[in-house]
Structure 1
């Protein structure tokens, strides 16, 4: 890892912490729906998970790949499925369907792929594709509603943009991780984008709490 990447990685963790702190301070601002408190809880949980992922081995033994693959990453996807499908789009059945399909995707990973990777490429790819469908649906909903006129006050506008940059933008990186690892320059380029887009995403999450005044 280069010095630049180390700086980005450290910055990402603390930007996550900043987003969690801002969410605690601002989540009540202009919200008529209480479900935004769960977004705040999610950000706090993700920050704690990143702290464990970074320094946890210094205090206790744990299996880092299993921690991320069976706990952190599934929570990320399931939470965003819930936020998009059940809350923003108002389609709880879609949330249950996509969540079931995502959890079902662990079966082929367990049977046909190695389970020692820091990220299961198949599960992550499938999860991102499901999330991409929801992102597109959310863009369509925003464009075809009066909310587009006040996008600067729309929390989901910032969240959707952040998710697009990070999860959708880094999809090729994790899908072809093993292949890209053979080409250092290309891998470094994608890894830099992964870290920078993560920082931008959490900054956008922070902005959604500060500027967003609508519940959806």
Structure 2
């Protein structure tokens, strides 16, 4: 279960105040996959980062009763001065996983070769995404977050990503952001529509998609 209790998220830049979520409360149930919908700028990616703990709410609390991944392909949580190898070991220990097992998996999956032993700051965005995706697959999560990233790299690597992730999905939920309503409908049973700082949860994802299409008409 993931529960938002009276959550507000505000950004302040250059004297301007932008409210993304305002006193939002809702519960995401285990065993259900959700699609997060909204027009551009509604706060979809911000909400995803809040769910994953990448960002903290300005006010309110977020309770997680299950193990939630960071957004797939998101490399922003790595320490740029540390090597890929040291980052993998560090993250594995945070999650209480065997560092050797996780490192072996990531080393084989990400196919970074000697780059695993150089600082993350030298990585291209694609290399960082490969490392982050490999880490996400190496650690078993109850819920995976997908923010428009379902595969990285060339066609062969994408095939490997899809195969491994399909295996993980058999035992885990998904919370995703996508501009493709076909993908949302295929992967998700319920939907969350973000609108003017509110979050409206629909038990039928088709109802969420219908509202989203009306908002974009």
Same fold (TM over 0.5): no
- Higher helix content, 1 or 2: 1
- Of structures 1 and 2, the one with the larger relative CO (CA 8 A, separation 6+) is 1
TM-score normalised according to structure 2 size: 0.28
